[in-house]
Amino acid sequence: MELKDCDELTKKIFLQVAKYNLFDYFEDKDEIFSWIRQLTEIEINNFLSLNIDVEKIKFDKSILIDSNLLKTTDYLKRVEEIVSIDNADGWYHLFKNLITTDFLESERFYKDIEKLKTAHSAQIPLWIIGDRTFINSPYHDEDFDMLISKISKSNEEYNYVSGEAIASLSANELSIYSGHHQSDMQEVYNSSSDILQSTNSFPKRSINNLAEDKVSLNDSFHQENMEILKNNPEIGNFLYAVMTDEKALKRQDYRRVIREMVEHKDDKKYVFLICACILGLDKAKLSLSLTQQTFIYELGGLSVIQDRARQVYKEMNTIDAPYIENETCKEESKPKTFFKRLFKK
């Protein structure tokens, strides 16, 4: 089909496609005409109403003809709102999250974008703004306010890691419905970025990761562990490994083990041996940081560590009476440390 053979309405739509240089989003001219024929009346009216300076559109212009956006009753206003975002340099590819069905149907569409524009960069808010879990969260508004407060243009202490941690937690379904979300979010918000951790860094060792862990969230000691982990970042990787291991949490001496690790945090190799005892060497090895990989060699090799782990299990079943920490326990009734006896040279 040639343009000259088309009706006036089709010509107008085609010229609008040309005005905004949308040809690259179609394979050929026939696909353009096919797309035009499928447009509804509201989509046609919306598209023809578009009258924004092309030079102001920095994002992928395919958004202009996205079917979810085109069918909205306030299409032009929404496009203008999206165009007004001026703090997204380098992150325009994330604008796809502004046109998810969930966000377009959200009553917070304009409100959230206005908040997003006050951040140093729109990058982190754009990660979650169109996420269904975040949108439907009962804590949406307070979480988003906390995120923006942490990364706002007026915050001179802006830190990427803190912002990432808050954003990830605010869209984490396990946390949101765990009963711990608000207290955990406040803990993460108030923490220095030095004790937080980027989402994809390993081994995990921080409270923002613990706040998202299913095993920990179901642990009656979760809140206590958050505080312990926050206050002992130097052995965070080993504590985290034990605190998120389902079998470890079922041990009668679970709290005793955590306390033992904290009491001897200045001796990281010793703490690693406790970790190996409780989790098994294979799992414990995964908790070693890059700079701690030499521990295996320095402690005598795998076979030596395995022998020590077996000996620990034997000692734990024969030494003193089993200790279960509870509110009525007296400090003097707690058994003396058994790990130090075992590894003492």
Per-residue pLDDT tens digits for 233-261: 999 999 999 999 999 999 988 998 999 89
With contact defined as beta carbons under 8 Å apart, do 123 and 88 qualify?
yes
For 48-80, give the secondary structure using H, E and C: HHCCCCHHHCCCCHHHHHCHHHHCCCCHHHHHH
* Structure confidence by residue, pLDDT tens digits, 304-328: 888 876 676 666 554 433 333 333 2
Q: What end-to-end distance do the CA atoms of the chain give, in Å?
A: 89
Q: What is the mean pLDDT of residues 276-304?
A: 92
Query: What percent of the chain shows pLDDT beyond 70?
Result: 88
* Structure confidence by residue, pLDDT tens digits, 99-153: 999 999 999 999 999 999 999 999 999 999 999 999 999 999 999 999 999 999 8
Lowest mean per-residue pLDDT among 128-137, 180-189, 205-214, 252-261: 252-261
Phi, psi at 136, each rounded to 5° = -90, 0
Distances (CA, A) of 274 to 39, 230, 281, 302: 66, 20, 10, 14
With contact defined as beta carbons under 8 Å apart, do 244 and 215 qualify?
yes
Euclidean distance between CA atoms 345 and 337, whole angstroms = 15
What one-character DSSP code corresponds to residue 152?
A: B
With contact defined as beta carbons under 8 Å apart, do 176 and 137 qualify?
yes
Euclidean distance between CA atoms 80 and 57, whole angstroms = 10
Nearest one of 24, 29, 25 to 14, comparing CA atoms: 29
Q: What is the mean pLDDT of residues 32-37?
A: 93
Euclidean distance between CA atoms 211 and 172, whole angstroms = 9
SS3 119: strand
Q: How confident is the model at residue 185 (pLDDT cuts 50, 70, 90)?
A: very high
With contact defined as beta carbons under 8 Å apart, do 148 and 125 qualify?
yes
R_g of the chain computed on alpha carbons:
28
What pLDDT sits at residue 75?
Answer: 98
Q: What is the domain partition of the chain in residue ranges?
A: 250-345
Token output for 151: 């990364």
Phi, psi at 186, each rounded to 5° = -65, -40
Token output for 14: 């085609």
